[in-house]
Every structure is written in C-alpha cells, then in structure tokens.
Amino acid sequence: MSTFNPSLLTPRARNEQQDTQLTTVKLFPNSHNNYQTKFVIPRQGSVLDSNSALVWKVSWAGYDATKTAYERLCLKLGSGGLTTLLRARFFIGGKQVFDCDDVGHLIHIKSLARNPDYQEEMSDKELGSTHGYFLADQGKFQVSSDAPDLTGGSNRFSRALGGWSSTPASDKSIECSVLLSDIFSALESLQLPMELDEMRVEIDWETAFDEIATIVSEGNGTNTPITDARKIIDIKDPILMLDYLTFNEELRAGLSEVLQSGMTLPFVHTSISSKVISENGVATPRTDDVFLSLQGKLLMKMYVSHRFSDSVGGALQAYSKTQGRIRSQRGKDMSYNLFINDLALHDQAVDTATKQFSFLEMASEGQLSTIPGSFDYNPVFGAANANTDVNSGFLTCSGITAPNAVANTQTLSGVEVRDGIANTNSYIAFDLAKYDSGSRVVPANAGYRVGSSAVILRLTQTGSAATVPEKAAKRVQVFTEEIMFLRSMGGAVDVFEA
C-alpha cells in the first residue's frame, strides 16, 4: 500500500548565481551598398562570442514574376551565396587586425569535411547551395533542389532566385548565413573583450551576375532571353547576429586587470596568394613552380585551388556557369609537391586523385563528402552523354524540371550539367600542423617554420593543342594558415607574426 507524500507538491525552486550570461543582439549596418557593408560593434557584455553570425540576402533585381514559367535562376550549385562574399576585414581602434580575401571560397573548402546529410539538410538551407541528388535510370544521377520531377513547386524548400521585397510573402530572395568564426579564422580561438577599442567589421561583396547566378532556363519561343539590363544582383538586409557573454563581477575585474597590464594571445590567420599559369598549347607535360612569399612564417595548413579559365575560345564554360570562381579542377596527368626550406613535403609527387583526396581529408580532419565525379579529372569534357555516364539529363530548380526542346529556350544541357559538376572539387591540401583544430593554439606545437627560402608549390600537368581547358591559362590560389599574435595593453591592440 502506497502512502501519499505531500512534499511532492511543494515547489522547491532555488536561486542559483550564474557565472556567465549569453545575450544576442541583432545589429544593423552603419552603411551598406552593393559593394561594401560596414558594422560598428557596440560595447555590451564582457566578450564577443565566436558563435556570432553574418546574415544577408541575395536578390535578382531583374526578376519578373510574369516570366517564372520559363525563367529559372539559381545560385551556384556547390557554394550558393558564398560567391557573394569577396573580402572581410576586422578593425579594433581603427587598426586592421584580421582580414581574409576570397573568404567565401575558404568557407566552401572547409565545408567539404561536413557529411552529406549536413550539407543537404543544413548548408543548402543556410546558403542556397545544392548538394542533394537522386539516382535515375541507366546508371545516372540527377541534381535536384527537391524531389525529382515535382511540378508546381515544392513546400519543402525552394532555391529559385527571385527579387527582394519588404513584404515577406512576396520576398523571393535567398537568405544566407555564416558564422563570424568561419569568416575570420582568428575567432575560432579568440573571444574578444569588449573593453578593447572600438570594433568594426567590413564586408566587400561580389555582385557580378555570371559569378553569382546560374541561368537554368530562359526564353520560351516568343520572349527573348534575359537581357543584360536585367542581369543585376543585389545584396539586401545584411545584419550581424552578435552573441555577447557577460561574466560575474570577479571575472570582469580579473579580465580588466589583465587587459590593462597587457595580454598576448596566439591565433590562426589565413592569408591568400594567387598566380596565373600561362597556357600550354602542347600536348606534353609541363612543370610550373608557384613561388609563395612565406619566409619566416609559422605555417599550419595550406589549401590550394587550381582553376581552369572561365572562358575557352571565347565561350563561357559549363563549370564556370554552375560553380563560379569557387571551384578547383584537376589538370590532365596532374602531379604536385610542396617545397619548404628547399625540402619536398612528400617523398614522391602526388600523382593520383586518390592520394590527393587522402591528403585533403587529413588536412580537413574529417571525412570528406563530394558529389560523385566532382573530385576526379573529367576525360570526356564536351563529349555527348552516354548511358553509362554518371550525370544529369536535366537540372531542376525549385523542384520544376527545366524546359527542353522549346524554341529559343536557353537551358543547361545534360552535357553542361555533367561538365559543371565533374572535376570541380579537386582541391589540394597540406597539413603542416602538429595538433588538430580543436586543440589550443600554441606556437610551440605548430607546424613548419619557414626559413629564408620561398615556399614552392610545384605543379605538373599536360597541355593540349586543341581549344580545351587543358590548353588555356589556369589560376592557382593558395590559402595559408599562419600563427600570429594579438597583443593588447590598455585597450589598444596590435598584431605581429609568431
């Protein structure tokens, strides 16, 4: 027999003193246009948390709602709205302390280590990208933003790019978001005290139409294709979602004392180097050395993008239409190595896609995920699709199949979809660090200290006598993680190399 215990009905709430409080503030820009946005971060709380985020909308200013039946635009497949992020700078007390060029590209490279489900269910919603695909007949797969062959749109998610409106129900723009710690690698290991001098963030935007948007279909036999006057991309409603941490009195007093007496903290800075390799019109291997001015620096990791020319023979290529600048392509018969302090990093040059993938995975510290065929060299570029090809016969946008076989209709063909995906994620990476990214940043545990000699990236690949991407010029971009120090005294800050 059970007995009733009246204490079960007695509330026993306790007042607990919390050491830290989290406050989120929605910050609007001090100035904004299609080329640059500036934010002045207000003083609040004790420190700025690294989980703060940048949110913005990408809009097609030339959108015409009466033509949606045959006009389809979407953001670049692999990166979505990241193509609009061109450059970012962080100022403290009027002094630039953090910066990152081509920051959207760097975020994309690091996102390859996310699993396929995260890419499709999270990244695609945050960025308007497309990582989902489904298996079709004859051994093919098809790229889709939603369920295959769905007509009339979708209630799940739409990646069709349209115009911006202040009325939510009429807003057809795509909202994107990234963490500030993704934009500024230093914030992965630093939480900035709010007692420092005034903080300011500047974002430079890329709004070139062909760099941002992919035309899936246009024209319907009676209407002309999209005119240049309508090819305008706008950046709308940028905001910062700032997370502030507020400490208790004892912690605040201790932090203030440390700042006044002086504080030096190591952090990871990402720099970028770029070089164009001249065209090779001979179908024989050629070796090119890319010299990187990294003398005296303390290196952690390096990520390399190798891009074929956007246009070949005056024609914009499929990989540029679907991916923009955020891509990396493996050259024909490519091999590579890195020389630091006149010593080769690898015993032998990396000459297969399998080895290259393995080294990229080690640097990424996670299992890589790419759409099938997007890492390997494309040996059938421009050739007609066969039943055995792994490709898409069509591209869907907003769940609606792009129209085919209609007079004057410009669409992405099955060949272009295949060539726009194959060989577009073939990044190169070098892991020079002695600890994983989750460990404490300690210079003594870092990677290579470069001496007086330049770092050399050596690339060997075969050219071509024909008008194909192998012949044209190629751009190499190298993102290098370096250890630097942030020194603060009396509220003023300075940065210097480790």
Query: What's the pLDDT score for residue 40?
Result: 95
Q: Is 6 a member of any domain?
A: no
DSSP annotation string for 146-211:
SSTT--S--SS---B-----SSGGG---EEEEEEHHHH-GGGGT--EETTSSPEEEEEEE---HHH
Q: How many domains does the chain have?
A: 1
> Can you name the residues that pair with 57 across neighbouring β-strands?
175, 236
Are the C-beta atoms of residues 161 and 171 closer than 8 Å to each other? no
Q: Please answer whether residues 245 and 24 qualify as being in contact, where contact means their C-beta atoms are separated by less than 8 angstroms.
A: no
Predicted pLDDT of residue 375: 92
Question: What's the angle, vertex CA 288, arms to CA 285 and CA 292, rounded to 5?
Answer: 160
Residue 15 in any domain: the answer is no
8 domain-assigned: no
pLDDT score of 423: 93
Flag whether 423 is in a domain. yes
Residue type, 157: F
* Secondary structure letter of residue 283 according to DSSP: S
Expressed as residue numbers, the domain containing 327 is 21-497
Q: What is the pLDDT along the chain (498 residues), one digit of tens a residue?
A: 445 444 444 455 555 555 778 888 999 999 999 999 999 999 888 888 878 999 999 999 999 988 887 788 889 988 999 999 999 999 998 899 999 999 999 999 999 988 888 888 888 889 988 888 776 665 667 776 554 444 444 545 567 899 999 998 889 999 999 999 999 988 888 888 888 888 999 999 999 999 999 988 887 766 678 889 999 999 999 999 999 888 877 777 777 877 777 788 888 899 999 999 999 999 999 999 999 999 989 898 999 999 999 999 888 899 999 999 999 999 999 999 999 999 999 999 999 999 999 999 998 888 888 888 899 999 989 888 776 665 555 666 655 565 544 444 566 777 888 898 999 999 999 998 876 665 555 666 667 888 889 999 999 999 999 989 999 999 999 999 998 888 887 777 888 887
* Domain-located, residue 14: no
Q: Give the pLDDT confidence score for residue 487 in this predicted structure.
A: 86
What distance in Å separates the CA atoms of residue 173 and residue 158, rounded to the nearest whole number?
10
Domain assignment present for 271:
yes
Is the dihedral angle over the CA atoms 483, 428, 320, 76 positive or is it negative? negative
* pLDDT for res 139: 61
CB atoms within 10 A of CB 137: 8
Q: Is 7 part of any domain?
A: no
Distance, in Å, from the CA atom of 355 to the CA atom of 283, rounded to the nearest integer, reads 24
97-106: b or e for each residue (b if 16 or more CB lie within 10 Å)? bbbbbbbbbb
**Rounded distance, CA 330 to CA 310, Å?**
15
Number of CB atoms found within 10 A of residue 93's CB: 15
What's residue 145's pLDDT? Answer: 56
Up-side HSE of residue 70: CA atoms within 13 Å toward CB? 17
- Whether residue 2 lies inside any domain: the answer is no
Q: How far is CA 13 from CA 5, 10, 16, 19, 69, in A?
A: 18, 9, 9, 19, 60
Strand partners, 315: 312
Return the number of other C-beta atoms located less than 10 Å from residue 53's C-beta: 18
The CATH number of the domain where 267 resides is what? 2.70.9.10
- How many Å apart are CA 81 and CA 200, to the nearest integer? 23
